[in-house]
Amino acid sequence: MDVSDPRRDERPTVGVVVLTMNDRPREMAEALASLRAQRGVELDIVVVGNGCVPEGVPDGLRTVSLPENVGIPEGRNVGARHAAGEYLVFFDNDAVLPTVDALARLAATLRADPELAYVQPRIADPDGTTLRRWVPRLRSSDPERGGVATVMAEGVVLVRRSAFEEVGGWPGHFFLFHEGIDLAWRLWDHGYTGRYTPEVVVHHPATNPARHDGFYRLTARNRVWLARRNLPRVLVPFNLASWLLLTLARTRGHALRVSFQGFAEGWRGGYGRRAPMSWHTVRRLTRAGRPPLV
């Protein structure tokens, strides 16, 4: 950093958004304790009750109560409007920062490169396991290899606020699933990039979201919405065809039927404003190793 930069001795200001439905009291207590233990950053932690009044929130932290569950992406949008800071951290209420310098290191990465819009730590179960879906790039078999990130794992990510607001935040109507790809694509389309930094680790239990019907329906619906909102029209059928082939290969029985119901729901509409990325962005994503077809 240029020695003339007046921020060189300032601690980064970070707004932290944590959602709760009061269903994980022990886990949320550990999550908030690990956030409050962070050093080298100024934090403004906001706990959003998604359809509830947040319980078990320590004194000094602010809360927002929503009368109904508006879904994860919209709940995070609400939290971002209340949390102050030049950066935003979206933090699952069952995640834990095992070191006191994790957020400072992530913020330093963003501060050093104005073209970076977001930085993703390595999310790992406390036993060290990192699920493939947590690695924001193709060829995810080696979670300890860092580099450019073209998507994001939404549960724990640090985002530059100015970039987040420039692109309009999370797609709130998605409710759950694929909102991280949507946000990442829009950030890339505005000229930004992302980075995966596996040397910074966040602990998160390795649960399986596919145990619920809602996973198959919303994943399929939002996959259609994602393509129809963001891709040049000619690429939409190729993107969705690749998803259909993968779904047929991986899914059976009742789950397959629910997936196709979600796909049909997405095709009927509801995806919101269409703003297809430029072909320049398509080329950038392809050069970065993840063409928007898979």
**pLDDT > 70: percent of the chain:** 96
pLDDT at 4: 41
- The CA distances from residue 238 to 70, 103, 222, 275, in Å, are 31, 38, 16, 18
Q: What is d(CA 259, CA 220) in angstroms, rounded to the nearest whole number?
A: 6
Question: 57 with 27: CB under 8 angstroms?
Answer: no
pLDDT of residue 45: 98
pLDDT in tens, 223-236: 999 999 999 999 99
Whether 180 shows a pLDDT value over 60: the answer reads yes
Tens digits of per-residue pLDDT, 96-118? 999 999 999 999 999 999 999 99
What is the tens place of the pLDDT at every residue in 116-168? 999 999 999 999 889 888 888 777 778 999 999 999 999 999 999 999 999 99
pLDDT tens figures, 190-205: 999 999 999 999 999 9
Query: pLDDT exceeding 90 applies to what percent of the chain?
Result: 83
What pLDDT digit, counting tens, does each position of 137-148 carry?
Answer: 777 778 999 999
Which pLDDT band, with edges at 50, 70 and 90, does 211 fall under? Answer: low
* Pairing verdict, β 193-203 and 62-66: unpaired
